């Protein structure tokens, strides 16, 4: 009798090892989650001018991080069969068979419960409810819409724009014009960001049956136009969080407008020459734009 057979009979998902931890981290889509948390820190910095309580900062980041981890793991649970059809996602823990679907579901339910409770008890109800709204829109509306209509991006962008507002309200900010400006910048930013990805991954998306803009309109003209529109609308939206007339706000307005014009130029280049090179450039520009905008906003716009 071979002991090897016994070893092989143990599901890989029950083996405890560092790679198990890596799989749980992967379930949370760490890069998107980290940038979301950075936006929350920027929102909180603007509201408090760094006169913040370390406990509230910790509770906000942990609570929002757990909600984002939950949203992402439940998205992976719901999309495990479709993820198996895309080269970009086939090696994720669920489609690759390294984790049982039930484990991801339990992780997703546990993290949303703990994250929401932490935000209610350690921060405030407004922030907790904004987090729950973001979670609900992503898991229960955006995820099922992905296979139905390209309007899914509109809903995903609402979800992705809420964490910066959560940071703002966690720091005591009201749901005012500044909050609206922060929301709109994040919302609009996602159009150029995602239209570049939608172009680069269009074959994958088509293979899995996702109705992204580049799948239903494969020339990419519509995706390009949406990227330019999102970028152009950022010009007025980026000015909203700093409607003041003093010198530092003017510096912010000039710098933010320059960044935004460069971003719009990258979107326009993609619209004109729709190829992988221009899409990659636009994606890179989007990932530079957001941190640059947040730094300028925190230094001069508050």
Ligand X SMILES: CC(C)=CCC/C(C)=C/CC/C(C)=C/COP(=O)(O)OP(=O)(O)O
Binding site for ligand HEM (CB under 6 A): 31-32, 35-36, 39, 88, 153, 156-157, 160, 190, 193-194, 197, 287
At its nearest, how many Å lie between ligand HEM and the CB of residue 267? 15
Compute CA distances 80 → 18, 105, 153, 246, 289, whole Å: 22, 11, 20, 52, 32
- Using CB distances below 5 to 8 A depending on partner kind, what does residue 39 bind out of ligand X, ligand HEM, none? ligand HEM
**95 contacts ligand X (rule: CB under 6 A):** no
At its nearest, how many Å lie between ligand HEM and the CB of residue 60? 16
- Using CB distances below 5 to 8 A depending on partner kind, what does residue 71 bind out of ligand HEM, ligand X, none? ligand X
At its nearest, how many Å lie between ligand HEM and the CB of residue 277? 15
Whichever of 120 and 206 has its CB closer to ligand HEM, that residue is 206
Whichever of 32 and 90 has its CB closer to ligand X, that residue is 32
Scan residues 55-94 and list those touching ligand X (CB under 6 A): 64, 67-68, 71-72, 75
- Using CB distances below 5 to 8 A depending on partner kind, what does residue 35 bind out of ligand HEM, ligand X, none? ligand HEM
At its nearest, how many Å lie between ligand HEM and the CB of residue 222? 15
């Amino acid at each position: 009798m071979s002991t090897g057979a016994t070893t092989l009979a143990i599901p890989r998902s029950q083996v405890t090892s560092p790679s198990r931890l890596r799989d749980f981290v992967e379930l949370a889509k760490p890069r998107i989650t980290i940038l979301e948390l950075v936006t929350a820190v920027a929102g909180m910095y603007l509201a408090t001018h760094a006169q913040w309580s370390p406990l509230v900062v910790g509770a906000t980041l942990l609570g929002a991080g757990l909600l984002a981890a939950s949203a992402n793991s439940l998205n992976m649970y719901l999309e495990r069969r479709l993820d198996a059809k895309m080269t970009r996602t086939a090696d994720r823990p669920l489609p690759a068979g390294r984790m049982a679907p039930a484990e991801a579901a339990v992780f997703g339910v546990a993290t949303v419960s703990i994250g929401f409770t932490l935000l209610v008890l350690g921060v405030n109800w407004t922030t907790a409810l904004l987090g729950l709204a973001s979670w609900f829109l992503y898991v229960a509306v955006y995820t099922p819409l992905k296979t139905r209509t390209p309007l899914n991006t509109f809903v995903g962008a609402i979800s992705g724009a809420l964490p910066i507002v959560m940071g703002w309200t966690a720091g005591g900010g009201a749901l005012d014009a500044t909050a609206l400006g922060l929301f709109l910048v994040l919302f609009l930013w996602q159009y150029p960001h995602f239209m570049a990805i939608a172009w680069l991954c269009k074959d994958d998306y088509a293979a899995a049956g996702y109705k992204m803009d580049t799948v239903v309109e494969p020339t990419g003209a519509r995706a390009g136009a949406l990227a330019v529109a999102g970028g152009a609308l950022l010009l007025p939206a980026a000015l909203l969080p700093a409607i003041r007339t003093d010198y530092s706000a003017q510096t912010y307005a000039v710098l933010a407008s320059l960044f935004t014009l460069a971003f719009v130029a990258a979107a326009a280049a993609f619209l004109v020459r729709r190829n992988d090179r221009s899409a990659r450039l636009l994606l890179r520009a989007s990932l530079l734009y957001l941190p640059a905008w947040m730094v300028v906003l925190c230094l001069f716009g508050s």
